[in-house]
Structure 1
Amino acid sequence: MIQLNHEDEELHWRSPNEPPFQISGFAWWSQEHKYRRLPVVVSGAIREEVDDLANHTAGGQIRFQTNATKLMIKVRLYGPNNMDHITATAVNGFDCYLGLPGSQLYYGTTRFPHNANEYESVFFESVEPELRCITLNFPLYQGVHEVQIGVNSDATMVEYPPYGNEGKVIVYGTSITQGGCASRPGMAYSNILSRRFNIEFINLGFSGNGKGDPEIAEFISQIENPRCLMLDYDANCVNVDGLITTMPEFIRIFRSRHSEVPILVVSRTPCGYEHVRASTYEERVARRNYQCGLVRELRNQGDLFIYFCDGADLLGEVWNECTVDGLHPTDLGFMQIANGLTPILKGILQIC
């Protein structure tokens, strides 16, 4: 359990597991009340790597309203930051946005020692006591055992307004989908999109392990009230044969339960070093052509609810400046991806 310091006694500490807090981004939260992106399964039911990554809390959010003049958070993590090319604030941190969806503005990010596996941090203090909508984004590359939210003892706390659109947008993919290498949680592209659409987003990016596993397709097909499924796992397939082997079956499994829920297939974004590695470019084009052809074939067979997006179109003319390491996007890259996907999703979801 998180220990409270003597100085914190003036604050009122609450668990976000209870009203008026709303937990979103965890599809199995209502059944299991765990900060986990897949249901708890017996050993061997899914690959061990995916099982471990499911404990990473990418895409999770805590939403509430308060007129607090001081807002703090206490966090107990699975472990300290162990990444060498992602900031600690993205791996282990929470960040804070104020405002309703569509008008949320970034306020701040937790600060803590680089090797900390638990910490407390102040989001704001000495602000006017006005009722504000608060969204806290969970860490992208770490598990969270426990969270406590602290506000001044005389603060009012009420529920966040409900989503304006029913359903969930499910994003399945890779380390890029999970959020590597954003500088903080709110800059993962699924979180950027969640601020633009008044609908819940579910981030199922599994770093290095978005390989189109049929077991994961089964779990995804069981998520209640899906509004759209994005398949963005191209980059984790060793070659085009990996897509040929997995993608038709992945789509078939989802379609067995959801015949008319839109599916958006997104091919991988360009690598920063393609201009000197012709084989890398040719491989990406082969993958793109396969996915585009598969979508065309399925539409010709009568599935009018499946769509294709060429990942090369998402980064635009600045594609070569958008990554940390030639592959994983910076905040600039994630913003470009979100900007490219926004009009596509507006059309598919029919949300203005």
Structure 2
Amino acid sequence: MKNFLFSLGALLCVLCIGPASAAEKPEPNYVDAATLTLVNKPHATKQPFHRVEVADYPDLSKTVRLYYTYSTGVAVVFRTDSRTISARWTTTDRKPSTHMTGLSQKGMDLYIKRDGEWVFAGIARPGLGADHKATLVEHMDGTEKECLLYLPLFDEVKTLEIGVDAGARIEAAPNPFRHRIVVIGSSITHGTGLSRPGMAYPAQLERATGFEFVNLGASGQCKMEQFFAHVAAACEADAFLFDSFSNPSAQQIEERLEPFVATIRAAHPTTPLIFLQTEVRESRNFNDKIRKFEDDKRAASEAGMQRLLKQDKNIYFLNPGMPLGDDHDATVDGVHPSDLGHGRILEVIRPQIVKILKKHDIR
């Protein structure tokens, strides 16, 4: 009886362990993403996944210096015939924010071009620490595909490798986007509150228009300080888009708007400068102090822009610039637009931006 039970137990172990071992997937072949095509950067950086070479701007504030090491908006473009696409990457061990998903902060999302359109394909779900590994999509057919992988919004990517099946090809693809529009802005531009990186309105704009949109959003920091103007002045850009009225007070807008524009104009005399009026915040609905602060700064931005519009024919003001609708359901916390909110912003500003760019033969 004992021998029978022992034999039965051994058989069960074989049945349980054997199939699991047989089902284990082979390790992907990994390629350093830095050897592929990186897009949505204003210039090359020593650390490939940083947005800005912060050492070139000694006047950056400590917080903005940190934020510009984040990979916000940066994407990897490549071609592969692999049936599975994986990734392994390292970030910092920064703790997640309460109003952000781990996926938007440290994860990635993948788009694949189909019939001329970028179609969502999968996500790279991050771990809880600094080391991450994920399969983004599997069980695809073996035809060659053009891929666009958006990097994390709110962390520094230290290393990134793209994994493909053994024997599959992977190679850098040409930049699929034309021209370059640099976006400087607040946490809204940065993508605070979104579910995943590709949902930020600059990323949605580039997929919808075919233009390259460089995301230089800096959460809570964009108050038209001169160092932002210095960054813009150093960029090679066909146009600029500014979300510059979300963070500053009315007094800061009155004092800083014209010097901010003057610094940029010294380097880009005729480049289109498109300014977005800020959102109407839901946090003002029942808070009279916030309501007055927001009303004052919106009035200051309107007055300041009217002065500039009279002086410069290549400056534009979209008002409303960040419309969220009338149902009060398009933010995650009364301030930061959700995926729905960014979609509503895109719906209104996209045709206006395209029309302005076309006027400047950017098409």
Contact 1:81–1:91 (Cα < 8 Å) also in 2: no
Q: Does 1:134 align with 2:138?
A: no
Report the alpha carbon displacement of residue 164 of structure 1 after superposing the two structures with TM: 5.2
Cross-structure match for 2:121: 107
How many residue pairs get aligned? The number is 337
Cross-structure match for 2:271: 261
Cross-structure match for 2:349: 341
Q: TM-score, normalised by structure 1?
A: 0.89
Q: Does 1:34 align with 2:81?
A: no
Cross-structure match for 1:304: 313
2-side partners of 1:43 and 1:230: how far apart? Answer: 21
1-side partners of 2:103 and 2:317: how far apart? Answer: 33
Query: In structure 2, the residue corresponding to 1:38 is in which secondary structure?
Result: coil
**Greater C-alpha radius of gyration:** 2
Of 109, 112, 118, which aligns to 1:98?
Answer: 112
Q: Relative to 1, partners in 2 of residues 1:269 and 1:241: Cα closer, same or farther, differing over 3 Å?
A: same
Contact 2:230–2:263 (Cα < 8 Å) also in 1: yes
Please tell me the residue identity of whatever aligns with 1:228: A
Report the alpha carbon displacement of residue 102 of structure 1 after superposing the two structures with TM: 6.1
- Pairing of 1:148-167 with structure 2 (within 5 A): 148-163=161-176, 165-166=178-179
Q: Does 1:236 align with 2:251?
A: no
2-side partners of 1:313 and 1:334: how far apart? Answer: 8
Contact 1:266–1:311 (Cα < 8 Å) also in 2: yes
Contact 1:179–1:188 (Cα < 8 Å) also in 2: yes
- Bigger drift between 63-72 and 304-313 goes to 304-313
2-side partners of 1:102 and 1:219: how far apart? Answer: 33
Contact 2:250–2:301 (Cα < 8 Å) also in 1: no
Identity %: 24
1-side partners of 2:244 and 2:38: how far apart? Answer: 26
2-side partners of 1:186 and 1:253: how far apart? Answer: 31
Contact 2:60–2:227 (Cα < 8 Å) also in 1: yes
Q: Relative to 1, partners in 2 of residues 1:80 and 1:300: Cα closer, same or farther, differing over 3 Å?
A: closer
Query: In structure 1, the residue corresponding to 2:343 is in which secondary structure?
Result: helix
Report the alpha carbon displacement of residue 77 of structure 1 after superposing the two structures with TM: 0.3
Please tell me the residue identity of whatever aligns with 1:307: Y
Report the alpha carbon displacement of residue 159 of structure 1 after superposing the two structures with TM: 3.5
Q: Does 1:61 align with 2:61?
A: no
- Pairing of 1:197-216 with structure 2 (within 5 A): 197-216=209-228
- CA deviation profile, 1:190-246 (whole Å, cap 9, x unmatched): 11112112121111111111121212211211112x121111122211x20111122
Query: In structure 1, the residue corresponding to 2:158 is in which secondary structure?
Result: strand
Report the alpha carbon displacement of residue 313 of structure 1 after superposing the two structures with TM: 5.9
Please tell me the residue identity of whatever aligns with 2:97: M
Of 136, 139, 146, which aligns to 2:159?
Answer: 146
CA RMSD of superposed structures (Å): 2.1
Report the alpha carbon displacement of residue 40 of structure 1 after superposing the two structures with TM: 2.8
Please, which runs of 5 or more residues in structure 1 have no aligned partner?
Answer: 1-6
1-side partners of 2:114 and 2:140: how far apart? Answer: 18
Cross-structure match for 2:339: 331
Query: In structure 1, the residue corresponding to 2:246 is in which secondary structure?
Result: helix
Of 235, 256, 260, which aligns to 1:250?
Answer: 260
Cross-structure match for 1:52: 66
Contact 1:315–1:336 (Cα < 8 Å) also in 2: yes
Please tell me the residue identity of whatever aligns with 2:133: E
Of 292, 295, 303, which aligns to 1:285?
Answer: 295
